[in-house]
Structure 1
Amino acid sequence: MPGRWPVPLGVNLLLGVLGVVPIWLLWYFASNWPLAALGLTQREPTENDGVLPWLLIGIPVVGLYGLLWWSANRPLRRGTTLTPRTYWLLSTAATLLPTVVLIAL
């Protein structure tokens, strides 16, 4: 069973490609409201739509993606010999990799 970790890695890379949009939505929300309120980022000057788009688009997209990611990783975690900490670190890093690559380009 030591060779079973490439499957979760591949699945999480594919989920990371799907996750580019929800990860971007989370960053957009954080950079315009909580981080801007703390003075860590500047708020987008044309962002005046309020909370309704987040209720209609943001929460469902991020929530469905989180549910998909969790439901894909729970059975994969049981099938590996990796420690839980190593598995979740590998899964999170593999999921974030496509977004990091797009930012770097």
Structure 2
Amino acid sequence: MESVRRWGPSVAVNLVLGVVAVVPLWLSMMFAANYPLAELGLTSREPTDNDGMLPWAMLLAPLWAAFLALWIPVNALARPESGVSTRRYWAVGSGLVLTPMAVLMTLFVLVDG
């Protein structure tokens, strides 16, 4: 019960921030599919995308900067003080932030077929 009390706020904060992170993660996935993976021949590019990479960079850089500017200080405040190594906490926090995106992608694959 003590571990739930220590980890509860951190888990909740990271899952809520994971919902916020869906937007930059999804856009990063779209960027990767349209440019680097398409150049490697693993995906096909969007046929109507003829603007190049600059609009993507202008969109993704501020989104990730804003998310990280929110995520890092909030996690620094939510980190339990006793018994948790810094490396382990940030690894678990990163995994929890990715959880909502993984759930949404799984649902998308299951529904879309």
Same fold (TM over 0.5): yes
Q: Secondary structure at the match of 2:60?
A: helix
Taking the aligned partners of 1:20 and 1:13, their CA distance within structure 2 comes to: 11
Q: 1-side partners of 2:90 and 2:102: how far apart?
A: 18
Q: Which runs of 5+ in 2 are unaligned?
A: 108-113
Gaps of 5+ in 1: none
The residue number in structure 2 matching 1:96 is 98
Return the index of the structure with the highest Cα Rg.
2
| Number of equivalences | 105
Task: Tell whether the 8 Å contact from 1:32 to 1:42 is kept in structure 2 after alignment.
Answer: yes
Deviation digits for residues 73-101 of structure 1, max 9, x if unmatched? 12333635222232122111111111111
Superposed structure 1 runs of 4+ greater than 4 Å apart: none
Structure 1 residues 35, 80: closer, same or farther in 2, change over 3 A?
A: farther
After superposing the two structures, state which structure 1 stretch, 46-55 or 16-25, moved more: 46-55
Instruction: State whether structure 2 residue 67 is matched by structure 1 residue 86.
Output: no
Q: 2:13·2:78 contact (CA, 8 Å) conserved in 1?
A: no
Identical aligned pairs, as a percentage?
44
Distance 1:90 1:66, change over 3 A: same
Whether 1:72 and 2:70 are equivalent positions in the alignment is no
Q: TM-score, normalised by structure 2?
A: 0.78
Mapped partners of 2:71, 2:101: distance in 1: 15
**CA positional deviation for 1:10:** 0.4
- d(CA) in 2 for partners of 1:80 and 1:18? 28
Please show how residues 1-105 of structure 1 align to structure 2 within 5 Å: 2=3, 3-77=5-79, 79-105=81-107
- Aligned partner letter, 2:50: N
Aligned CA-pair RMSD: 1.9
Provide the TM-score with structure 1 as the length reference: 0.83
Paired residue type of 2:98? L
